[in-house]
């Protein structure tokens, strides 16, 4: 039988880099949410592992052992045909590949396969939180996940197609021992309440990303003046940005306006949670 899975976009509302271990892994403190848009996967058992990739952003996505979907399936000993419909831009700081891998583990666990406890983090720092696919605080090297409760956040996701290699962004980070978020995350009644609190938090990779690709600063400056968002910030290591608004009606209006003004940008209205 064919099994289907959904791999939502992952958004880092905050990303505090709090240290670096001797083995090179960075320590993080991040508030993570997920969008209602994402990639879709289909799994059909068969004698050998086969991956096909189609969709809006299929170009450049490997369909072999370099893909985290392949690695996840291979790690649990599953064989068959996997079809990945690539809706999300890849290499965009929204956990596309990690979410795809997490969806693969979720789907195969539903087929009775055993998923080793350390497998998600071995596939990548974002995979464990993507397995939960709900609002959570992510700490350590991505292996410490604490689910949290947040209001639904109307948002616009914008990717201007700027290439920002994650390794280069971390290498450009001037200081790695930065303060974490407060010990306790408040309970928010509205999206505006949450956005106002988020303004006092950070994405420590935003400034170094600007050093790697100066265009990021120009894009962010423009986005901060589009319909006065509650918050405009880069997600992860970039180069996708999120804009928070008080209503989905405003988010849809902004997404349409940005798409018209910049037809080469990927702009989507979504709800984060």
Q: Which residue is catalytic, options 29, 100, 126, 204?
A: 126
Q: How far apart are CA 89 and CA 100, in angstroms?
A: 12
Q: Is 264 a catalytic residue?
A: no
Q: Following DSSP, what letter does each residue of the chain receive, concatenated?
A: --EEEEEEEEEES-BEEEEE-TTSPEEEEEEEEEEEEEEEEEEEE-SS-EEEEESTT-TT---STTSHHHHHHHHTT--EEEEEE--SPTTSSS-HHHHHHHHHHHHHHTTT----TTHHHHH-TTHHHHHHTSSEEEEETTTEEEE-----EEEEEEE------HHHHHHT-S-S------SSPPP-SSHHHHHHHHTTS-BTTHHHHHHH-THHHHHHHHHTTSS--SEEEE-TTSS-EEEE-S-HHHHHHHHHHHHHH-TTSEEEEEEE-
CA distance 67 to 235: 22
* Residue 10 among the catalytic residues: yes
Asked whether the beta carbons of 248 and 271 are under 8 A apart, the reply is yes
| From 10, 29, 86, 100, active-site residue | 10
Catalytic residues: 10, 126
């Amino acid at each position: 039988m064919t099994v289907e899975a959904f791999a939502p976009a992952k958004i880092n509302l905050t990303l505090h880099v709090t240290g670096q271990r001797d083995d090179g892994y960075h320590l993080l403190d991040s508030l993570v949410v997920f969008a209602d848009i994402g990639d879709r996967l289909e799994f059909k058992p068969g004698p050998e592992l086969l991956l096909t990739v189609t969709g809006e952003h299929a170009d450049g996505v490997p369909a072999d052992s370099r893909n985290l979907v392949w690695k996840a399936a291979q790690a649990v000993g599953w064989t068959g045909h996997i079809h990945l419909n690539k809706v999300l831009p890849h290499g965009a700081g929204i956990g596309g590949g990690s979410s795809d891998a997490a969806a693969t583990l979720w789907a195969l666990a539903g087929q009775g396969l055993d998923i080793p406890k350390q497998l998600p983090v071995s596939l990548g720092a974002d995979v464990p939180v993507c397995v939960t696919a709900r609002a959570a605080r992510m700490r350590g090297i991505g292996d410490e996940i604490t689910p949290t409760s947040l209001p639904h956040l109307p948002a616009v996701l914008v990717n201007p197609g700027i290439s920002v290699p994650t390794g280069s962004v971390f290498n450009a980070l001037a200081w790695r021992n930065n303060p974490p978020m407060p010990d306790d995350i408040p309970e928010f009644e509205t999206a505006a309440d949450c956005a106002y609190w988020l303004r006092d938090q950070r994405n420590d990779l935003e400034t170094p990303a600007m050093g790697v690709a100066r265009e990021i600063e120009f894009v962010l400056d423009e986005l901060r003046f589009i319909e006065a968002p509650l918050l405009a910030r880069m997600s992860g290591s970039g180069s996708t940005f999120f804009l928070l608004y008080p209503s989905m009606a405003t988010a849809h209006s902004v997404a349409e306006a940005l798409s018209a003004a910049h037809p080469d940008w990927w702009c989507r209205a979504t709800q984060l949670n």
